[in-house]
Amino acid sequence: MGAFGEGFAPFYSHGRHHDPSAVGQNQAFIRTIARGGAAPKMSSESYNEILPVYDAKTVSSFDKYKKIHAASIADPSKYWGDLAKADLDWMVPFDDTKVLQGDLTKGDVRWFAGGKLNVAYNALDRHDPDALALIWEGDEPNDIRKLTFGEMSNKVSQIANALKAKGVKKGDVVTIYMPMIPELAMTMLACAKIGAVHSVVFAGFSAEALASRIQAAKSEVLITADHGLRGGKNIALKYIVDQAMEHITDKDLVKNVLVWGREYKEGSSEAPYQMKPKDVRMDPLVADQRPYCAPEPMDAEDNLFILYTSGSTGMPKGLVHTTGGYALYAKHTTKTTFDLAPGDIFACVADCGWITGHSYVVYGPLLNGATTFMFESTPVYPDEGRYWDMIQRHKITQFYTAPTAIRLLMRYGDEPPSKYDLSSLKVLGSVGEPINPEAWRWYYEIVGRSECTVVDTYWQTETGGHIVTNLPGVTPMKPGSCTLPFYGVDAVVLDPATGHIVEPDATGRVEGVMAVRQPWPGMARTCLGDHARYMTVYLKPYPGYYFTGDSVQRDEEGNHFITGRVDDVINVSGHRIGTAEVESALVAHPGIAQAAVVGKPHDIKGQAICAFVMLRNGYEESDDLIQELRLSVRSEVGSFCSPDMIIVTPSLPMTRSGKIMRRILRKIVAGETDTLGDTSTLADPSIVDTLIDKVGISD
Ligand code: WT7
């Protein structure tokens, strides 16, 4: 069997021949969306001018999509059961009559339960050992490493054995706080090999944020590296880890801190950092291990990993992804959405600290036997041609990034991408937030030379993989729309008030909240240690449905336009920012009585973080105070959450029952003061004018 298995027969072509002439004709619409964040409301005039882009060949495949999608919804057990058998190697087969059990109402979903498999085995050991598995480019463009499946498999086994030697067992949570180096991917896979549950914490989070995630997961092992590099700057990860250890209240919780040495030279006895009693140098420990470790047979429903995601209230949620369903979903979405073919060099430039890195840097491409490209640096280091240079040098075939990066690079004009040979590209992906049609066009025309399919992939940490996206050569592209549901995803639009499915109006359009009516294999199963919260947030708001938290509009052709979050979650540069975490960092300052954080439209980042703070008696507004507040957010959460704007206010818009009306703050920072809505329920309606003045001055 080839590297791509016998899986799903690709009936589609490489979607290279789209007609670009119809793209983006409505400049007014484009400009409105280009101002940042969510798309404006559809209006029949503006909307119809953006036409679907597809050719005759696509249309015939499009009919096939419709048939297969309908069949996958009508009989999900058949659709996913067949794929699971073809696409994954099972140690113990699952019961054909029990592919899917449980349902969304009860919240007891399981896929392939009873079947046993190992994800690391499927991602590495089963493939041609001589094929290229991973190309890594470090912060400096000449810092390149290439690993075959065989090399990765051996090293992952060594790491797995090192973890075992340190007492890590199946089911233990291993926290990983690492830079984007190959050892990060291999450490994740080593956990999977022995059945340990990895919890990757993005290396931009602060010591405090890391400590709280370690404690919440009761994680006894922490794996880090001495330092990371980004844009020529050294990030002292080990130093941050040392501080995190200070913050952990249960001093006996963490038993081992395993530290990779970035510049480790074999045999060197000196650690390039301060060794603490619990520290273990990872490189010599790993080098001592046998390069074979038997894969742990895991039940399809055993936990594979947890990933914390921040929200608008409370502690971040540790979402749990399980083994069989997640692996199948990551594999199938990667293959289908990106039209993966043997020999492809697949580049997702996300960080493994987020779900995009889990599904589309590590698991999805490797499960397919494709070569995954892993990137440590930024889009503008050493200059704004970095992505294009890499595409040329490594002959990248699929390139996957976020609208924020595209908007940033667009600012440098058409010249940088035009200087490079980008003809290896076939598919360009977008993820993290709605892509405004102006950025879409630039991506399509300038980067893709109007020859590549742009896939706008809508999904979430909770969904494991894409749930709404166009498919290259199969379904039409539509700038600004993530278009149609993925196979097996029964997407519905619900009326937020009644919870019923919205019936199309006379024009065939609907508007409401985005939900899914049937379980799919990649969905998160629970929140670690808090199933009640999982139910409350995702499954109880609309019984019988998975609730995404996003509002959506769907056009008469069934294309979805995500219009923003219905909760208070902010999306900055494609990352979900925990307003609750930022607010609690602000309130941690002794001078702050209360804080409210909202998103403000931002040209490049989509949204910027805007904080309103009320001072305690005895404190006065000053530059120093604002600096201290920024510092507080940096140290409690991470510098990527530092507010763009901090406004000191005598009070906040509150209801009489004391609830902050963030809706009003959002409108004020967006300058939409003529559509504030009903302010009569405010305890003190006069605060609105004060805030409008304050925001106006600081703008
Ligand atoms: C939220 C999920 C999924 C990986 C990156 C973010 C927004 C994501 C799109 C898209 C419109 C999108 C949604 C979603 N979002 N992709 N293609 N179009 N919105 O993962 O941190 O879990 O955030 O990102 O609001 O709910 P995340």
Contact between 225 and 260 under an 8 Å Cβ cutoff? The reply is: yes
The residue whose CB lies within 8 Å of the most ligand 1 atoms, and thus the one to mutate among 571, 575, 581, is: 571
Q: In the 8-state DSSP scheme, what is residue 435?
A: P
432: CA distance to ligand 1 center in Å?
4
CA distances from 500 to 30, 32, 604 (A): 32, 31, 36
ipTM of the complex: 0.99
* Residue owning tokens 């008469």: 556
Which of 404, 267, 427 shows the shortest CA–CA distance to 335? 427
- pLDDT of res. 658: 83
Nearest to 475 by CA among 359, 339, 344: 339
Residue 114 to residue 102: CA distance in whole angstroms: 14
Q: Name the residue at shortest CA distance from atom 2 of ligand 1.
A: 460
Residues 104 and 539: beta-carbon distance below 8 Å: yes
**pLDDT score of 699:** 63
Rg (CA), the chain: 25
Ligand 1, atom 18, lies closest to the CA of: 434
Nearest CA to ligand 1 atom 19: 433
Q: Mutate which of 351, 460, 538 to test ligand 1's pocket (most atoms within 8 Å of Cβ)?
A: 460
Nearest CA to ligand 1 atom 16: 432
588, 580 contact by CB (below 8 A): no
The alpha carbon dihedral of 603, 689, 661, 39 has a sign of negative
147 CB contacts (<8 Å, ≥6 apart)? 132, 133, 134, 136, 155, 182
Residue of the CA atom closest to atom 5 of ligand 1: 432
518 Cα distance to chain centroid:
22
Tell me how far apart the 2 most distant CA atoms of the chain are, in Å: 74
Question: From the first residue on, what is the mean pLDDT of each consecutive set of 10 residues in the chain (699 residues)?
Answer: 29 32 31 32 32 49 91 97 98 98 98 98 98 98 98 98 98 98 98 98 97 98 97 96 97 98 83 91 97 98 97 90 98 97 96 98 98 98 98 98 96 97 97 94 95 96 98 91 97 97 93 98 98 98 98 96 91 90 94 95 94 96 96 94 95 88 92 87 89 82
The DSSP result for 136-205, as a single string, is: EE-SSTT-EEEEEHHHHHHHHHHHHHHHHHTT--TT-EEEEE--SSHHHHHHHHHHHHHT-EEEE--TTS
2: number of Cβ within 10 Å = 9
Pairing of strands 317-322, 345-348: unpaired
Please state the atom number of ligand 1 nearest to the C-alpha of residue 564: 25
CA 482 to ligand 1: nearest atom: 17
pLDDT value at residue 42: 34
Ligand 1: centre distance to CA 511 (Å): 18
Distance 181 CA to ligand 1 centre (A): 25
Q: Which residue has the tokens 């960080």?
A: 351
| Closest C-alpha to ligand 1, atom 12 | 433
Residue linked to tokens 């309130």: 587
CA of 122 to the centre of ligand 1 (A): 27
**How many whole angstroms from 36 Cα to the centroid of ligand 1?**
15
Q: Which of 424, 447, 442 has its CA nearest to residue 479?
A: 442
**C-beta separation of 527 from 500 below 8 A:** no
Contact 195, 305 (CB under 8 A): no
Kindly report the protein residue whose alpha carbon is nearest to atom 8 of ligand 1.
Answer: 432
| 167 CB-contact burial (10 Å; exposed 0-12 / middle 13-18 / buried 19+) | exposed
Do 365 and 344 form a contact (C-beta atoms < 8 A)? Answer: no
Q: CA 423, CA 337: separation in Å to the nearest integer?
A: 19
Cα(213) to ligand 1 centroid in Å equals 22
How far apart CA 524 and CA 544 sit, in angstroms, is 16
Can you tell me which atom of ligand 1 is nearest the CA of 571? 24
Prediction pTM value:
0.91
Mutate to test the pocket of ligand 1, among 361, 362, 430, 459 (most ligand atoms within 8 A of CB): 459
d(Cα 647, Cα 694) in Å, to the nearest integer? Answer: 7
CB 144 within 8 A of CB 382: no
**Tokens standing for residue 196:** 């340990």
Pocket of ligand 1 (CB under 6 A): 309, 355-356, 431-434, 456-461, 482, 548-550, 562, 565, 571, 574-576
Report which ligand 1 atom has the smallest distance to the Cα of 462. 22
**Ligand 1 centre distance from Cα of residue 223 (Å):** 28
Contact between residue 176 and residue 189 where contact means Cβ atoms under 8 Å apart? no
Query: For residue 187, how far is the Cα from the chain centroid?
Result: 19
Nearest CA to ligand 1 atom 13: 433
Contact partners, residue 123, CB within 8 Å, separation at least 6: 189, 192, 327, 362, 363, 366, 367
Give me the sheet containing 510-516, strands edge to edge. Answer: 491-494, 510-516, 546-554, 560-565
Q: Where are the alpha helices (DSSP H) in 511-640?
A: 531-534, 579-587, 623-636
- Strand-strand pairing, 132-137 and 371-375: parallel
370, 344 in Cβ contact below 8 A? yes
Distance 629 CA to ligand 1 centre (A): 28
Supply the pLDDT for residue 386. Answer: 98
Q: How far is the CA of 663 from the centre of ligand 1 (A)?
A: 21
Q: Which of 317, 356, 433 to mutate to test the pocket of ligand 1 (most atoms within 8 A of CB)?
A: 433
Strand ranges of the sheet holding 371-375, from the earlier edge strand across to the other edge: 144-148, 132-137, 371-375, 345-348, 398-401, 427-431, 453-457
CA of 460 to the centre of ligand 1 (A): 5
Q: How far is the CA of 635 from the centre of ligand 1 (A)?
A: 26
C-alpha 39 – ligand 1 centre gap (Å): 14
Give CA–CA dist 680/148, Å, rounded: 65
Two tokens at 494? Answer: 């619900």
Q: How far is CA 682 from CA 239, 373, 666, 688, in A?
A: 46, 52, 15, 9
Cα–Cα dist 467/189, whole Å: 24
Residue nearest to atom 23 of ligand 1 (CA): 460
pLDDT at 567: 87
Q: What was the pLDDT predicted at 59?
A: 61
pLDDT, position 58: 56
Distance (Å, whole) CA 394 – CA 372 = 11
Ligand 1: atom nearest CA of 457 is 17
Q: Whose CA is nearest to atom 24 of ligand 1?
A: 432
Any residues with CB less than 8 A from the CB of 630 and at least 6 apart, and which? 642, 643, 646
- Specify whether the CB–CB gap between 383 and 409 falls below 8 A: no
Atom 27, ligand 1: residue with shortest CA distance: 460
